[in-house]
Structure formats: C-alpha cells, structure tokens
A and B are shown apart, each in its own frame.
Chain A
Amino acid sequence: MNVKNSVEPDWNLIFLSFLISFCIFLNYFFWSVNFNQIIKSINFFTILFFLFYFFIGKKFKNYNYLRLFIISLLVLSLGSVTVDWDARSIWGFHAKRIFLDDNLYAGFDKYMPELMNAYPLLPASLSATLAQIIGHWNEIYPKSTNILVLLPALFVQCSFLKNNKSILLWLMFILLFTGRALVSGLVDGLVAMYFVTNCLIIYNLFFEENSIYGRNLQEINKNKNILFFLGIFCGIILTLLKNEGLVIVMLLLLSAFLFKIYLKKKIRKKEIIFGILIFIPVFIWKFLATYNGIYAEYLGTGIVEPVIDLNSFDRIILRLSEINTHKLLFKHLLLNEKFIIALLIFLFSIYKSFEKNKLIYSFVITNALIYYIVLYIVYLSTPHDFYWHVTSSSTRVMPSIVMILIFFSVSTFMKKKE
C-alpha cells in the first residue's frame, strides 16, 4: 500500500457525524408519521447533546477552529432577523405551517401554491421542532436550526482534512463563499455543503482503496459500516433539502456507477442497496405530494410571455434558439466571480497534484460539469420569466459547484504538501 497517499479520516468525528445525521433524519421521520411532541423534543435535545459533546469531548480537542466556527454561525443566525425572500416565503413559512398546524403535510391543502408546496421539508421540520420546544414563533430563532443540519456535512469534511491548517483554510472558504447563505435561513448553502460531503463519501465508498479504516478487523468492519450508513443519511438529508439536492444525488450515483463500469470494477450489491435506500424517503414525499395534487412548477406549462402555455421541452427549444439567452447564462453562470476564483484554485491544484489524484479529480470534474449542464437546462426550461429567474437565483445555485471545486483542491493540495 502506498502509505503516503493513504487516507485516514478522524473516525471519532465521523461517528459523531453519523449520530447527528441519524437524529436529523429521525426528526423528519417523527414528523412524517406524526409522532408525539415529547419524542421529537427528546430527539432535538439529543442533537444538542452531541453538539455539546463535540465542544467538551477530549477526542475533539484538536478542532478548536471548528468549534469557534460553529459558535460564530450560531451567534450570527440567532442575532439576525429572517429577511431573505426565499428564507421567509418558502422555508420559514413552511416551518411555521408545520409548527402551527402540527403537521408535516400542512402544505398539501394547496394554500398558496406559489410557495413551493412540493418542496421537501427536512430543514423546516427541525425548525418546527425547535418552535414546539420554545412554544411560540418569532422571526429570529427558527432559521438557526440550519446550523444543526449543517453539522454532519461539516464534520465529515473536516474529518477528511489532514490537519488544522487545511481545516482552517476550508472554513475560510466556506465563510467567503457560502457564509451568508448558511446563517440567513436559506437552504442553498446547505445544498452546497452536502454536495461536497456526499461526493466525498461516495468517492470513498465506491473508489478509494487507500483508506485506513482501522487497526484490526473488528475496527475496520465497524468503521466501514459507519461510513456506509453515514453516506445513506447524508444522501437522504441532501435529497430532502431541496429539489436540487435530489438531482445532485442522482448525478453523483449515476456518475459513480458509470465510473465503475468504465474502470471495469465490479458494482457490488452493497452499493446498489446504498443507492436505493437514499431515495426511499424523498420518493415517499414526492409520491404523497403527487397523490395530493401538489406538483413541481417545472412540470407545468409556462406562466409568463413568451412561454405561456408551452411545456418544458418547448420552452427549452424556444430559448435555445435565442442568442440573448446564452449571453445571459454565460454572464451569470460563467462570469460569476466566485466560480472563476474556484476554477482558478482548482486548476492550480490539478497542475500541482494531478498524477496522484487522477481519479478523484476526474470524478469531481464530471459531477461539477454535469451539474452545470443541468443548471443550464433548468434555466432554459423555467416557466417563469427567464431574465428574472437567472438574475435572481444564479448567485444562490453557483456555490454548489464552487464549493466542490474548492474542497477537493484544498484536500488534495494540502495532502500533497504533507
């Protein structure tokens, strides 16, 4: 085994991440089957206990930067009012509805269909649990639960980074590129962070052969299983964050299986089960939404001129032929300053350490590129005004690509320096 190129993540932090991700999923599950409030509250306090354990546990004494980072995000989130449009009208409103109606499926009554009732509601359900514990709603604290949802993703990323220097560097990039989105109640920052984490876990589960899982067979098996189930829960969380999350998980798994075929590696039964388990909760949600007549806007006909009454395919064809469409997309998806910086860092990292990390770079590039193409198609098919949609949302969706490029640049480049 090539010792220099081996990967030994911090298994304690990964185990903690697994426990928190499991509790976050449990909270959603308890809401989905309408469990008693006391059970949901106990589960919420368990998440807080795990966070507290991270702050005081001797096993995590090397993560002081991460501790400060989490505290800073919590302070910022708890010390600001929710004002962003989507944070209020989609995520905050749905959380309020779940809390006041005491029902995860409150949106299925078709009240205000323009407020995306078909969106999955995992972060909103955690806000609703906190609101139940507090006993009333206000315009400040509910969004802070997004920081708790962030924890598993953040812990996994930091556990795979080699030392404090790389962790601090990565935390700096998080602050620079998605910091605001993480504390303002938007879900886009979480999508970006979970994109990175799921890419990292899937790569390690499917391809990495130099991972050190432990010193003896028992420890190796235990850690392999933890990573497997952590991958499932992180995948579930990403699919239940937003529709983009579902698309991202589909892309990651599809590209992973295609890479396996290309590399002539055997696709194991465990990997297929992994793929199936991730999609079960979101498919149940989508099924229930469709059964109750709640559909994603994208599947409907155009709602503004010149695409009024056109279906998705016709909208794409119409806009493909317009040069201004491409100019606008080029301006917002390619000339985005964060994207350009990330691309430069990524190219520098490839230049410095491509030989040893061919596979991981290829995997990251493939996923970033496919997601980029998906974004292009999504914008072309929007039922809304094209200009309004691109200008109002491109800055929110680009961080997903930006973060994945930067994380793998930091991790591979710092590994090389070691």
Chain B
Amino acid sequence: MYQVKRNNLIFLFLIVVICLIKLFHIGYYRINFSTNLLFYTFKKDFANNQAVSDNVLEAYQLIRKSKISNFNLSNKLYLNGYFKQRIVEFSYPIRLDTNSQFVLALSDSRLTCKVKLESKRIKLYEC
C-alpha cells in the first residue's frame, strides 16, 4: 500500500514538473510572456511597439494624425507582405484603398506628389 502511494506521488511529481517546465517554455520562449504586459493587459494601445514593427507604427501614426479615412501604399510597400498585412489590421477602421489620394511610402522613396506628413522612416503623400 505504502509502495503504491509512493509510486503515485513520484508519478504526480514528475508530471507536475514537466507541466511547469512546459509552461515556462511556452511563456518565455514561444510567446514572449511578460508580467508588465499582464499588469497592463487592458490598457489602451499598450505594447503596440511589440505587436508591429516600427515602420508600421510610424505609418499608423501618420495616418491617424492626418485624420484621413483611407490610404494607399507605394508599390514597394504594397509588395511587402508583412507591411501591407499589418498596416491593414492595425489602422482599421481606416482602410487601404488603391484609389486613395493619400499614399504611404518609405522616406527614401520619391513620389511626384505633395508630402502631407513625414516621420523618420515613412512619408504620407497627397496625390
């Protein structure tokens, strides 16, 4: 009886240890868990910089500042799958519209349009 109980305890202990190791593995290596994020989990716009790249964040800030309802992307940005996807999600309800007069481009691009707003990496043109 004692032997069975002891074996059971060892078994449970092992499983608990594996679960704990896996929880830490998921938290710290797979999803970048942070207690700071946990404490501010419901705060508006918290950790936006961790969710998307600086380019996307800057582009979003330009769109928001200029109070436009839609935007387009330069050819280079349009072909960048990551940028296109993230700016579409992040800027919603402001929409990507290929007919929009407002065009986002990288700051080193040259478009024959008027620069409406600019940041370190991104320019918003009005065409």
**Residues of chain A at the chain B interface (Cβ within 8 Å):** 69, 72, 75-76, 78-83, 85, 88-89, 92-93, 96-97, 100-101, 111-112, 115, 134, 136, 138-141, 144, 164-165, 168-169, 171-172, 175-176, 179-180, 183-184
Residue from A76, A79, A101, A175 whose CB has the most chain B CB atoms within 10 Å: A79
Among B15, B43, B45, chain A packs the most CB atoms within 10 A around the CB of: B15
* Chain A-chain B contacts (Cβ-Cβ < 8 Å), number: 111
- B15 neighbours in A (Cβ, 8 Å): 168-169, 172
A186 to chain B: closest CB distance in Å?
A: 11
Q: Please give, as numbers and ranges, the residues of chain B lying within 8 Å of A100 by CB-CB distance.
A: 92-93
B95 touches A111 (CB 8 A): yes
Tell me if A140 and B47 are in contact (CB < 8 A). yes
In angstroms, Cα B48 to Cα A136, docked, is: 13
CB-based nearest A residue for B19: A172
Q: Is the CB of A175 within 8 A of B89?
A: no
Is A81 in contact with B47, judged by CB distance below 8 angstroms?
Answer: yes
Do A165 and B12 form a contact, CB below 8 Å, given A76-B26, A179-B26?
yes
A168 with B88: CB separation less than 8 A: no
Count of B interface residues, CB-CB < 8 Å: 39
- The main secondary structure of chain B at its interface with chain A is helix
B71 to chain A minimum Cβ distance, whole angstroms, is: 13
Contact, CB under 8 Å: B19 / A93? no
Q: Which residues of B contact A134 (CB under 8 A)?
A: 42
The residue in chain A whose Cβ has the minimal distance to the Cβ of B43 is A138
- Residue B107, interface by CB 8 Å: no
Neighbour of B92 across the interface among A93, A139, A175, CB < 8 A: A93
Given contacts A78-B38, A179-B22, contact A168 B31 (CB under 8 A): no
Mark out the residues of chain B between 5 and 32 whose CB falls within 8 Å of any chain A CB in the assembled complex.
8, 11-12, 15-16, 18-19, 22-23, 26-27, 30-32
B44 and A180 contacting across the interface, CB-CB below 8 Å: no
Check if A183 sits within 8 Å of B26, measured CB to CB: yes
Whether B85 contacts A184 by the Cβ 8 Å rule is no
CA–CA, A115 and B81, complex, Å:
13
Nearest CB of chain A from residue B18's CB, rounded to whole Å: 6
